[in-house]
Amino acid sequence: MEEVNVYDSALFNIEERLGPLRFSKFAHQFTQNGIVALYHSLTHQVIYLSQEIYQWLKEIIENKGKQEVDQNILKKLITHGFLVSPRYDESKRIQKISSRFLGKPVFRILYLLLTDICNLRCRYCFIEGAMPADYTFSSMNEEIAVKGVNLFAQLLKRNPKDRRFGHPTIIFYGGEPLLNQKVFLASLNEIDRLKRAERLPQSLSLITNATILNEDVLKSIVENEVAVSVSLDGPQDIHDANRVIVDREGTFQTVLRNIQKLQKAGVNISISCTINQQNLDQLEEIFQWMVVEFQLKGLGFNMLLDLPGIAQTNEEYARKATEKIIACYQVAREKGIYEDRIMRKVKAFVKKSLHLVDCGGCGNQIVISPNGRIGPCHAYVSSKRFFPGDINDSDFDPFLDPIFVEWSSWSPFNIPKCHFCEAIGLCGGGCPYNAELKFGSIWNIDPNFCIHSKNVLEWLIWDLFEKTKGGE
């Protein structure tokens, strides 16, 4: 994304005279130990001032510039958009970003839901937890899988040429995808054919509970360079508290053996760890254990989503989970381990770019359900809400479909109450599914995710201070 211009051109003659000024609505103040950090929420620029200088600036603005002015400081604040003229319409910046980047699907992720059947009964699962008692389970057949990967190849070719969208990837998902081994292997064969024809990307990922792994599957994973994300919540007592099979027997020992097999075969594995009541208090110790036990290169923390009629999270959970994730990230950073959840925001902060959406479902992904329905979000696989298409309908066009267009519009930049929030530039808005579950519409916001984003932002601001000004 190109740099956002926040300069108020009405102030171009600052060297000749100083007109009325005000702080930008995108300028936010954070105070710690006598230091004020001025942060611009669209550009991620941070300027650190003493409280005395900050108070001096406020007095200048309140007195409309009648005091003696330090031109260098004012020019810096104006150039970086912290100070603007009173009539400057900042809402136009939001509108420009929205019209340029939102409301236009750009597909880079394919979720193939090989089956909605799972051999586990994880107590916090948002997929199974949303299924009604009379739900009819199904598994994808080879025809749907082949059509699905070919549709994705077509969408990649049709993506707008002027939009950068990262590395395309195909994700095998469920249920437990390896319960449908036959179609998993057939999909890999078709993907390999299309890759050889340079119609599909190299990146493939399998998200699995790692309780089912045989030699044929392992061989294909290695041959096709499939990255594997294994769900693991901690050592045995913690993992087995939630991740159990149908008869409530724990799965840790099986998962451990299969991780070892994958690593021995040279597979690129990462851990997907769901933060729950069993591991929250010990998350840092659990992370350290995982690093030593598995020599990790990557890990992703998942925050709980609510279930229909059951709130699994609250504000205290959001604050504490965020605090623990930050602590783990600090260790991961030192050891060169990639932690996905924090890195989404770190990348935006460091590169001075906008993190418009936190979820691929908001305009960047297509999900194929086991029976061939097409939608943007796998959380709705049981209800089929927001699944407007069918893989056998050759006229269905996700680029033009109203549901896909609406989801591609979903962003804090299109939610008015978010526009002048300090975290808008790196928040991404969280999970539309969880917002709808809580408040009845995807266009509401989840206050727990607001807490997460704001706390991460404040940590980033003071972490930068410690690594720059604090080290002088």
Cis peptide before 250 (omega within 30 of 0): no
Q: Is the pTM of this model over 0.85?
A: yes
Q: Which residue is listed with tokens 């040429």?
A: 161
- Name which of 156, 151, 64 is nearest 105 in CA terms: 156
Beta strands at 365-368 and 35-40: parallel, antiparallel or unpaired:
unpaired
Indicate the pLDDT class of residue 471, thresholds 50, 70 and 90.
very low
According to DSSP H, which parts of 338-446 are helical?
Answer: 340-351, 402-409, 424-427, 432-439
- Report CA torsion sign: 438, 443, 445, 446: positive
Q: Which of 116-130, 212-226, 294-308, 434-448 has the highest mean pLDDT?
A: 212-226
DSSP 8-state assignment for residue 206: E
The pLDDT of residue 201 is: 82
User: In sequence order, which residues have a C-beta less than 8 Å from that of residue 3 and are 6 or more positions away?
Assistant: 43, 352
Round to whole Å and give the CA distance between 356 and 349.
Answer: 12
**Phi, psi values for residue 292, rounded to 5°:** -70, -45
Q: What is the pLDDT of residues 61-110, one digit of tens each?
A: 777 554 565 677 878 888 899 999 888 899 999 999 999 999 999 999 99
What Cα–Cα distance (Å) separates residue 305 from each residue in 72, 114, 137, 233, 310?
A: 48, 22, 22, 15, 10
Length of the chain equals 472
pLDDT of residue 426: 95
With tokens 């267009």, the residue in question is: 405
Helix/strand/coil (H/E/C) assignment for every residue in 35-80: EEEEEECCCCCEEEEEHHHHHHHHHHHHCCCCCCCCHHHHHHHHHC
**Do the beta carbons of residue 280 and residue 321 sit within 8 Å?**
yes
Percent of the chain with pLDDT over 70: 93
Is residue 291 over pLDDT 50? yes
- Give the least confident one: 14-18, 114-118, 175-179: 14-18
Residue 472 token pair:
């002088």
Beta bridge partners of 109: 169, 365
What is the spatial distance between Cα 387 and Cα 370, in angstroms, rounded to a whole number?
12
Buried/exposed code over 42-57 (b: 16+ C-beta within 10 A; e: otherwise): bbbbbbbbeeeebebb
* d(C-alpha 166, C-alpha 164), whole Å: 6
Whether the pLDDT of residue 14 is over 60: the answer is: no
- AA identity, residue 5: N
> In whole angstroms, what is the distance from residue 144 CA to residue 149 CA?
9
Q: What is the mean pLDDT of the chain?
A: 92
Q: What is the mean pLDDT of residues 325-341?
A: 95
DSSP 87: T
Helix H or strand E segment including 240: none
Residue 290 has pLDDT above 60, yes or no: yes
C-alpha closest to that of 325 among 273, 289, 277, 252: 273
State yes or no: pLDDT of 13 exceeds 90.
no
